[in-house]
A and B are shown apart, each in its own frame.
Chain A
Amino acid sequence: MTSSPDETAPLLDIRGLHYRYAGASADALADLDLQVHEGELVAVVGANGSGKSTLARLLGGLEKPTAARLARACGHDLLADDGRIAARRDVGVLFQNPENQLVAQCVEDDVAFGLENLAWPPADIRRRVDEMLARFGLEELHLREPHMLSGGQKQRTALAGVIAVPRRVLVLDEPTAMLDPAGRDEVLAAVRELHGEGLAVVYVTQEMDEAVGADRVVALERGTEAYAGDADGLFADVALVRRLGLGLPAAGELALALAERGRGLRGLPLTMDALLEALGGAP
């Protein structure tokens, strides 16, 4: 993005954001700040109902903020109607439930849907769709009707459709929740690859081990920011983790259980490899 007027400007720049659902007595998001730069991967965690999905929809320009001092996505003003419409092209959002975004008669038409709306030439659409079908292992299902797919297959189809349109920011709302372990690995690998290609990624997840690899973790609590920083810092504060309705990755939970039994490990391992190293190094 060398043509960008300001290289250091965050792609997502949110300050003092409020959102309240119609008829609700409290804000779903309150006074929230979030900046995400090109190439950053930010994990968003929090209990059910803490505002993660609401935030994802706002970042994608799908809802109008109730109020904000500043709310910009890829330079577009999310407080303005035309700004939100423009933002939807640069920011791809994958919803929690893929049922809500499969619209076409078959898998490949669904993957092509966004490109057709952008009036890509048919040959380019064909090439891009084939690339996406291969990337998500959907080649054999390309003519299958969406309602005949399993949950995991639907999620892969939806993700392929979101990524088919060239994006600057990807907002993923629990993209692996419905996938089998191999499907989860495929999606995580694709997300890492897209991140490696310089895409900014906001990754909402309930899987604590998925948050470990993020550049930054933001934890929400009743619509406000309860923590922002690296994963190590979040998981080191066990009281906060519990209060937020979260947990530690399995390696961390075992380290805590060991510490309770008087066998504290050096540091707090958050992965299998770190745990094995800590166990080997312990007396």
Chain B
Amino acid sequence: MSRREAAASAAPRPSGLAGMSLACRDVSFSYEEARAPIPALRDVSFVLPAGGSLALMGASGSGKSTLLQVIRGLDAPESGAVVLDGAAPVDVGYAARQREVGLVFQAPELQLFASTARDDVAFGPRRLGWPEDRVSTAVEEALDVVGLPPAHFAERHPYTLSGGEQRRLALAGVLAMRPRLLLLDEPFVSLDPGTRRQLVGILERLKAAGVTLLLATHDADLAWALCEELLVLREGRAAAAGAWDFSAAGGRLLAANRLREPFFVELWRRLGRDPQRAPRTAAAAAEDLS
């Protein structure tokens, strides 16, 4: 990245984070293996509007992690295109948009490496070439957002943090770069229920701030609680994309993809209510039932 590009991407953004829209157009990708390439994504197409939230679900091995890496630009699609804010890869400004896509890897705490929480979170912003005072502000904000107040946590060694705190620190490292589209790969795995609740709260606040969310998860309850829409991958193909569908056909599609209905959807169905109008949280369900 040139200094000029860095300066452009570092330009202060109007307050309030405008989410980035995402469209995948016929995206295909294969992994190379000695015998033959293994196709991981085949002609995947979907649209996620700016500020929207999409749950990415599918059986183990269906291509979820690969899709996130391709959207982030870590792997180039063999064919098709990832369109960010309406810009295709050939368009001017695409690289800058790509830098506004944040990817939180599965078990991201395994990649913590600096000797203080502050330096770990600062790594990304520094690599973007931001001036040190901007880096510092971004780091402190990000630590606050994930519930690790800098006064207590900034100078801690990452390895002295609990597993849940490490996960949130790794998230802060991505948030510090102010992503307008946030991709999360199984962020809830191995977290205790209390930390999961905290993370749900963090993601809800990011959504409310306008960040576009793409959440790969096996957890139907959290996907339903957080995401307006659903994309189901099956052997690398989009088996369904759009609104959640709890009709009989929708139920068969979930089962065929090793998924299950969210708890409250099943509850609503078994209570003889319309599953399509099932509540997304326990509080909403209780409100409705009391």
Contacts and interface: CB of A to CB of B under 8 A. Distances in A.
B60 A179 contact: yes
B190 A261 contact: no
A181 B289 contact: no
A276 B163 contact: no
A213 interface: no
Contacts of B14: none
A182 B59 contact: yes
Interface string B258-288: 1110011011001100000000001101110
A123 B190 CA distance: 38
Nearest to A258: B286
Nearest to B255: A182
Contact of B193 (A148, A177, A245, A256): A245
A55 to B, nearest CB: 14
B38 interface: yes
A153 B270 CA distance: 32
A178 B258 contact: no
Contacts of A262: 290
A190 B267 CA distance: 26
Interface stretch (A44-52, A72-80, A162-170, A195-203): A44-52
A179 B192 contact: no
A258 B220 contact: no
Nearest to A150: B61
Given A206-B192, A257-B283, A257-B285, A180 B267 contact: no
Given A257-B283, A272-B266, A48 B163 contact: yes
A164 B192 CA distance: 30
Nearest to A154: B60
A216 B33 CA distance: 46
Contacts of B282: 250, 253-254, 256-257
A275 B271 CA distance: 11
A148 B31 contact: yes
A48 B164 CA distance: 6
B12 interface: no
Interface in A29-80: 46-49
A139 interface: no
Interface residues of B, number: 45
Interface in A233-283: 242, 244-247, 250-251, 253-254, 256-258, 260-263, 272, 275-276, 279
Interface in A179-227: 179-184, 206, 208
A194 B118 CA distance: 47
A254 B286 contact: yes
A174 interface: yes
A167 B202 CA distance: 43
Contacts of A145: 33
Interface string B58-85: 1111100100000000000000000000
Q: Which 7 A-B pairs have the closest CB atoms?
A: A152-B60, A247-B193, A49-B162, A182-B258, A245-B194, A257-B286, A48-B163
Given A150-B60, A179-B60, A254-B289, 14 more contacts: A48-B191, A96-B190, A150-B62, A180-B258, A182-B258, A182-B260, A183-B59, A245-B192, A247-B196, A253-B282, A257-B282, A258-B286, A258-B290, A272-B270
16 contacts: A47-B162, A49-B162, A145-B33, A149-B61, A150-B61, A178-B186, A178-B189, A178-B218, A206-B190, A244-B194, A245-B195, A247-B193, A257-B285, A258-B286, A258-B290, A263-B290
